Structure 1
Amino acid sequence: MNLTYAVDRLVDTGWSPDSSMDLDTLPDGRRYPSVMAVQQCFARAGLELRIKHNLMFSCYRATWAPIGEPLDDQHVADEKHGTVIGSCEREAAVYAMAQLRTAVRERELALV
């Protein structure tokens, strides 16, 4: 996976750039949320997002859970919990946001 793939997955969820959001730019000109913007998005949803560099595997792990709940990389993924891996901090953050949006959308569809 790479940052372009993560941005593609985020766009697939219906996300589009918001002028009030801190955005970065891919080499092809497409805009995507910065790591800080992603963390703010998670916080507004009542979730904590932690991104850690794993030196042993040279990757980044993004894990999220409700604020105040211990972050557990092994927790079953749902609309409030998850873990993703990326090759850089930005990739992990953007892919985490895409996964969260997908889980929330799937939950909403199941309630209909």
Structure 2
Amino acid sequence: MSSWSKAIVTAIYLRYRQQWVLFYYSSQNRVSYQLSVISYQLSVISYQLSVISYQLSVRVRASQKLLTIGQFCDPLAVWAFQVIPVNQNSYEIFTFGRFLLNN
């Protein structure tokens, strides 16, 4: 099993700067790399997350939840979303992780 399959990639969307920041956490070392280039795939995911965020803002009522959505835009991984409350009636998705599936 490669070190990449043991790693978790977390992407944080900065609302005010309107850009994606990627942090790569390796199981062997704790060094993180910040990437400022936005790929086409992240642009698609950004749009889909905004749609999901809007839907959850209407439906989610708990203060904080961790939602795992399998096979999201990637047949080899499971995506996990963290819903963070903005105010009493609004929730937004700020982080998500890509967890690789074992073959």
TM-based fold match above 0.5: no
Between structure 1 and structure 2, the one with the greater Rg is: 2
- RCO greater where, 1 or 2, for CA within 8 Å and sep 6 or more? 1
- TM-score, normalization by structure 1: 0.29
User: Which structure features the higher share of helix residues?
Assistant: 1
- Structure with the higher strand share, 1 or 2: 2
